[in-house]
Structure 1
Amino acid sequence: MDFVSSRLCFGSCGIGVVTVIDRDPSTLDFSNATLRLADDIRVWPVHERGNLVYRIEIPSLHRFFRVGYSEYVLISLLDGNTTLPQALGLTAAKLGRQTPTTAQSQAIVQWLLQNELAVLADQPNPSRHAAKASPNATASRFGFGSLNPFWMKVPLCRSDRWVRILAPWTQGLFSFPSVILWLCLVVAGSFTLLVNWDRFTQDAVEIFSPLNGLALLLIGIGLKLIHELAHALACHRQGAATSEFGVVFVLFAPLAYVDVTTCWRINSRGSRIIVASAGMYVEIAIGALAAVMWGLTHSDLAAFLLHRLVLAATVSTVLFNANPLMRFDGYYILCDLVDIPNLYAESSLAVRRLLSRLAYGHASDGSGLTGWRRPLVLLYGLAALGWRLLICVSLMIAASAMFAGAGVALAAVGVYLWFAQPAKRFLTAAITLHQTDKPMFWRASIVGSTLLAIGIATVGFVPIPTATRAHAVAQYLPETVVRSRADGFIANVHVSNLQSVRAGDLMLELVNPEIRTELLQLELERQQVEIRLSQATDRKEENTRRALLEDRRVISQRLEQMQEKYDGLRLVAARSGRILSRDLRESVGTYVREGDELLVLARADEKEVVAMVGQTQMEQARPTIGSTLSVHLADRSKQPGFLDQVDPRATDRLIYPSLSATESGPLAVRGQSEDASENDLPVRLLEPHFTARVTLPKRSAESIPAGMRVQVDLEYCTDTLAMRLANQVRRLWYRVHETR
């Protein structure tokens, strides 16, 4: 016997209000009171988990309730002439041992009166008007009672006339041929993204630009409107009606919603699943079609918009609407899959029973669930509780960061709205227990205090050692790089990639006529100075001789430098090793400048590891400087290394493209600024990192291929959970202020 939650696209909110009864149900004389069911309710049988149950609806309020068979037999006998003891006797004659007890029958009557499903025989039918669904429901009208800055619901339309107008034009949307077309679109879109994954991830680099944010906002709003329209059309197609359409502002961000609570009239679980999944069905179809068009278009603007449409129609749907821990589409799909209509309420009761068992040593098993559903409901309740706490804390942190001082006030309001009422109920229950059962109160206090102390110690004082690893890339040592010693054109290449050479072998030849011409000119000038010097010596012109000696010295130095450049046009191997260079033969005719990298001449044991250390990892990196650490390879093996140095300055320059998220790497990146140099990569790190160099022993260097992505162990992080959360909040705060 319970209230069946309303089905919105992302929440549980009913609509409508009932007039408050004049008489407190707890003061009734149940031995003489006669009741009758309200004239406007509807009752029909359904099967849930193999059991016969009955659903009760108040059509004008779109509120639904569920009772078991034994409760229904008792309720059906309340005709305004039969007293409760008489109805209970007739029920016992029909059900025997399954008859509700006197206390249970009185609770059923109180429940009927409180929810205005029944009235006293001498009272008129309840008058109902649209304002709120129940005392515990979220306000549906927009007023001061609904001014929660984290969740403001604004109804816009309480009629499904617009749905009936659109229904004939979209009747084939959920037909079997449409489902086949949907599958084809999803396969085609997935294949397009798979084939062009590098390009797709590269296009995501500019996601942080203001233009992209505006495009995502507009596309997201349009998609959500279509999403909610799909829910409404599916509900209409299954024979139910849409009772309300409106907008919910979550931290002032608009989200559309439709109330399809009337789909509880549908007995088929499969039909209700269709209604719940209709929005995701349409969004994924749009995303798949956008992916196919993105792969075919040659327009940069069209590719930009389609790329954002794919992200908005797929990522948000998977992360939010399909999440069963939030009361969105995924939650209602899960409810029907496991055949537990009130999964949220059942899971909350399961968690309360668990806490009651821990605090009092016993708990009444009021659950009618059996088999695998009982542990499933408990696990879901614990997961949903953790998720709700995470969402509440995240929204408060987001409000504090987004709205500065006003955000702190919003966070305080959120703390009051979310935690004040539960705290009040807890204190009331504690006072009542102290007055009625002091031994049980002290037992619960001791157990609760112990659990609270353990929780506080775990979160705030107990260090949690976790391994800290920095992402890195293996490379050859810098001294193995062969660079050009002079400007010139590559004329001849005498080696190839992976070729082994000996010291003295000719590798490359450059040509630069200007160097040869200048070399000959300097040689001629030197000879002329020698002739003039000889003449000055013969004439004993001491001053002239000294000046000519200085000229000869300067010319000789210039000649020596030019000769070195001329000799540098022939690149000779300084030592034995293996040539590493791609497309070396194709570089013939290419002009290179002095200092440009031409190739790598290295041995397999001449490698190092260059790691990118995050700012939060520096506390663990500094103690490891000068010590041995482990380098983890892709095959989960590890090799020893020696942390030689860590650059003292952080940089957002990405040294290795393979570490970028756009190349399936682990580091988040952003787009390059317009004033960047041509030599820079098109992306930069989202957060600055420090560069660390790890020296490898010869045996380790031989086993690690150059260019492989690896991870480097740093010191263990021993921060508590509270310290980690505080660091994350501080980083979010600084990041928000830096981007302003």
Structure 2
Amino acid sequence: MLHSVDSSMVPSSQRPIPFKMRPDLVVKRVEYRGVPSWVVKDPVGLKYHRLDPEQQRCLELLNGERNLEQLEKALCEEFPSLHLQLSDVQGLVTELHKKNIVYSDRPGQGASLLEIQREQDKKKRWNAVKNLLYLRLPGWDPEPTLRFLYPYVKFLFHPLFIFLASAFVISSWVLLLVNFSTFQAKLPEFQQFFGWPNLIYLWVTLALIKILHEFGHGMSCLHFGGECHEMGVMLLVFSPTLYCDVTDSWMMRNKWHRILIGAAGIIVEVFISAIAIYTWWFTQPGLLHHLALNLFFVTTVTTVIFNANPLMRFDGYYMMSDFLEIPNLRPKADKTLREKFAWFCLGIEPKPDRTMPTSGRFWFILFAISAWLYRWIVVFGITLFLYTVLKPYELQSIGITLAFFSVVSIFWGMGQAVYQILMAPRQEPISKVRLGFSLIVLAALVTGTMMIPIPWHLESPVLLEPTDLKHVYTTTDGVIEEIFVEPGDVVEPGTVLMRMSNIEKELELQQYRTELKDTEVRINTADKSNNFDEGTYLRESRDNLKRLISQLEKQFEELEVRAPIAGRIIAAPRRPEPKVDPMNHSLSRWTGTPLDKANIKAYLEPKTHLMSIAPDENFVAQLVIEQEQRDDLQLEEEVELKFSHLPNETYVARVTEIGDRPLEFAPEALSNKAGGPLATATDEQGNERLQNTSYLARVALTDDVDLLRTGLRGQARFLVDERTAGQWLWRYIRNTFHFRL
């Protein structure tokens, strides 16, 4: 009589494993440093997995009938050096199930797979929140487009074209190096280059270049026999770029093909950069000249900082990983660093891991630390860039907020790593001695950091003008007839600068002179007739007419403008063209400066600024300081000055004057409309009205002024206070939070 055994009474290790290898998987053998690995391609989910030999053999042995003990026996026979146990084999099966490369005929598998998918989606969303400066959006399948375009661009991979392109790129670098000083002198200022509307041009240029960059990856992958099934939009520092998934290159056995696919985008940008160099060098200032500079900046800076740098997980990282034949280089380096931290600081022994490197651990740790430090440098650089660009528009808080979230995400990742180390199951306890020593070292580092003196400096835009500048104004209205000087001319006192006319006053003077003659005749007649009353009245009228004539003659003398002092002529501030008002049909006033030849016959009102005269070669720097900075700047305070055309020179001078009244209009050269740092709005008269309350301060410059010129702009830097990092932190806390008992 046979008795059936209840399946629930059978040990789990003897029950059949209900998993089989998916028949649609594509598997290829790839060697890394002579060690074989298997790359598994999921053609449905377009996911790729790299398996070790024991993982691949475990996948092949899963047939839905073998149990855990049988699987362990088979693996131990093939890999006796691994000393696998049942728990290890169970972990292998679980890992294969998580990768979704096995399937089961049994019901109820959908729920577990759905849960795994939810966890993956949750992780993706959290990664997106952590990386606000690097957002990756869902994409599309570019394979049909790439196959359509490939016949037209196949010549780009011909050795002859590669040789000619390389020679072209090298020649552009030689041109740049030979004429580097000239290139540097022709570069625009920061605010001019990153101001509106050039920021829009940069934004569009970056988007277009990155499209070509990513198509370079896709085309090269197709050329070497791979496939590309995902391309999408990525926001890098809120600038639109593309991304192209060429993970199919993992299936290639030739590592140089993988490296070239990773470098294809960089090669495209380097070639475009060479074109931009030649275009910029051989064109005159204009739109094309300006766009070529944008093209050079985008293809050079982004390539160096992001794409080609192996410390960030972009093209350079994957190229180095393939060159060294170390897959998953960054995760392995990070894990090595965590294990060393856990051992030295907590006394926790790392668990044996067959996937981790057994040699060269120092270089893995060095790479992990370098990548971590470089991430901080990039975050700081992006924050400083956004703050500087957005500050003229009072939007610097956006850059600070983004930096705050980026820094929080970095610290969150560090805290999460420490938490995982502490919460990981282990048999041995944490070493209290090492933990205590680590806490003491940490406290010492924090204390030392808080004691570092940090000076707090403020910066203000600067415009240079001569010292004791004598302004020349019109004292009466009139029409410009002749202009005898130009900006830069040297004049002596009394030199005629400009001659004006006034037809109305000429007619008025002629009328008064006629009335004076008539009055003289009437006085003679009254005297002869002994009419004393009328004679007295007429004499009063004559005196009044003489006074009026004298005033008009003086005004006519003032129509001939003369130099009040000796010195060099400086043009008056330029008057911009007023806004066009369709409801106002009155004639527009003169524009430019009164010394422009185009303004001859222009009508000038009284108190019009004609020009200025610099009596000597000394200069004064005009500082435009914001309202919250005014109380921080004191008279006789030392100020450092840097001018745009002298980036290596620093001038030190003292404050001689601080304005009491707010400045209404900005100097034209400092307006963001002219590439300056000050945010202004053009009013109906064409003046640049300041958007923020600001004051004018002056700093006298008397030493080493040979290289200075009128109208130069730059930055002034002055010390507000010097405190330790801890004092600044406490000051910030007290100003942010109000503690009350």
TM-score (structure 1 length as normaliser): 0.64
Q: 2:30, 2:38 within 8 Å by CA — same for their partners in 1?
A: no
Q: Superposed, which structure 2 residues align to 1:347-362 within 5 Å?
A: 347-353=333-339, 355-356=341-342, 359-360=345-346
Structure 2 residue aligned with 1:172, among 155, 164, 177? 155
Q: Superposed, which structure 2 residues align to 1:293-308 within 5 Å?
A: none
Match of 1:343 in 2: 329
Compute the displacement of 1:551 (Å). Answer: 4.1
Compute the displacement of 1:136 (Å). Answer: 9.8
Q: 2:169, 2:274 within 8 Å by CA — same for their partners in 1?
A: yes
Compute the displacement of 1:72 (Å). Answer: 9.9
Q: 2:347, 2:431 within 8 Å by CA — same for their partners in 1?
A: no
Q: 1:38, 1:126 within 8 Å by CA — same for their partners in 2?
A: no
Match of 1:464 in 2: 454
Q: Secondary structure at the match of 1:667?
A: coil
Q: 2:480, 2:599 within 8 Å by CA — same for their partners in 1?
A: yes
Compute the displacement of 1:611 (Å). Answer: 1.6
Compute the displacement of 1:236 (Å). Answer: 1.4
Match of 1:56 in 2: 38
Compute the displacement of 1:332 (Å). Answer: 2.5
Q: Secondary structure at the match of 2:456?
A: coil
Question: Alpha carbons of 1:174 and 1:136: their partners in 2 closer, same or farther (altered >3 Å)?
Answer: farther
Question: Alpha carbons of 1:184 and 1:520: their partners in 2 closer, same or farther (altered >3 Å)?
Answer: farther
Q: Superposed, which structure 2 residues align to 1:205-604 within 5 Å?
A: 206-207=196-197, 227-245=213-231, 256-282=242-268, 321=307, 326-336=312-322, 340-353=326-339, 355-356=341-342, 359-360=345-346, 367=357, 368-369=359-360, 374-384=365-375, 427=419, 429-430=421-422, 437=429, 439-440=431-432, 444=435, 447=438, 451=442, 464-477=454-467, 479-485=469-475, 487-491=478-482, 493=484, 497-499=488-490, 501=492, 503-504=493-494, 506-508=495-497, 510=499, 512=501, 514=503, 518-529=508-519, 532=522, 548=538, 551-552=541-542, 554-579=544-569, 587=597, 590-591=600-601, 593=604, 595-604=607-616
Q: Secondary structure at the match of 1:113?
A: helix
Aligned residues: 646
Distance in structure 1 (CA, Å) of the matches to 2:560 and 2:379: 70
Distance in structure 1 (CA, Å) of the matches to 2:259 and 2:710: 52
Question: Alpha carbons of 1:530 and 1:181: their partners in 2 closer, same or farther (altered >3 Å)?
Answer: farther
Distance in structure 1 (CA, Å) of the matches to 2:321 and 2:214: 20
Structure 1 residue aligned with 2:620, among 608, 616, 621? 608
Compute the displacement of 1:507 (Å). Answer: 3.5
Q: Give the letter aligned to residue 318 of structure 2.
A: Y
Compute the displacement of 1:465 (Å). Answer: 1.6
Match of 1:641 in 2: 654
Structure 2 residue aligned with 1:624, among 633, 653, 676? 633
Cα deviation digits, residues 640-693 of structure 1 (max 9, x gap) = 222401364366x55152x56787x762768x75x6545x57xx88x7473423
Compute the displacement of 1:472 (Å). Answer: 1.3
Question: Alpha carbons of 1:695 and 1:414: their partners in 2 closer, same or farther (altered >3 Å)?
Answer: closer
Cα deviation digits, residues 121-160 of structure 1 (max 9, x gap) = xx9999999x999969984799999997976753544x94
More deviation in 300-309 or 558-567?
300-309
Question: Alpha carbons of 1:76 and 1:136: their partners in 2 closer, same or farther (altered >3 Å)?
Answer: closer
Distance in structure 2 (CA, Å) of the matches to 1:444 and 1:331: 34
CA RMSD of aligned residues (A): 6.5
Match of 1:17 in 2: none
Match of 2:4 in 1: none
Compute the displacement of 1:542 (Å). Answer: 7.5
Compute the displacement of 1:186 (Å). Answer: 10
Distance in structure 1 (CA, Å) of the matches to 2:522 and 2:441: 103
Compute the displacement of 1:697 (Å). Answer: 6.4
Identity %: 18
Compute the displacement of 1:224 (Å). Answer: 5.3
Q: Secondary structure at the match of 1:468?
A: strand
Compute the displacement of 1:237 (Å). Answer: 0.9
Distance in structure 2 (CA, Å) of the matches to 1:250 and 1:343: 23
Cα deviation digits, residues 263-300 of structure 1 (max 9, x gap) = 123344442233223345446767877999999999x9
Question: Alpha carbons of 1:584 and 1:125: their partners in 2 closer, same or farther (altered >3 Å)?
Answer: same
Q: Give the letter aligned to residue 262 of structure 2.
A: A
Q: Give the letter aligned to residue 510 of structure 1.
A: R
Question: Alpha carbons of 1:251 and 1:580: their partners in 2 closer, same or farther (altered >3 Å)?
Answer: closer
Cα deviation digits, residues 325-380 of structure 1 (max 9, x gap) = 55333442454466654232134225424643663268769653367665233211
Q: Give the letter aligned to residue 627 of structure 1.
A: E
5+ residue gaps, structure 2, are 1-7, 177-181, 387-401, 573-592, 736-741
Q: 2:656, 2:700 within 8 Å by CA — same for their partners in 1?
A: no
Question: Alpha carbons of 1:428 and 1:362: their partners in 2 closer, same or farther (altered >3 Å)?
Answer: closer
Q: Secondary structure at the match of 1:623?
A: coil
Question: Alpha carbons of 1:275 and 1:536: their partners in 2 closer, same or farther (altered >3 Å)?
Answer: farther
Distance in structure 2 (CA, Å) of the matches to 1:677 and 1:446: 71
Distance in structure 2 (CA, Å) of the matches to 1:255 and 1:588: 48
- Does residue 154 (structure 1) correspond to residue 163 (structure 2)? The answer is no
5+ residue gaps, structure 1, are 1-22, 93-98, 396-409, 731-740
Q: 2:468, 2:615 within 8 Å by CA — same for their partners in 1?
A: no
Q: Give the letter aligned to residue 360 of structure 1.
A: L
Distance in structure 1 (CA, Å) of the matches to 2:526 and 2:349: 119
Q: Give the letter aligned to residue 236 of structure 1.
A: L
Compute the displacement of 1:112 (Å). Answer: 3.6
Match of 2:581 in 1: none
TM-score (structure 2 length as normaliser): 0.64
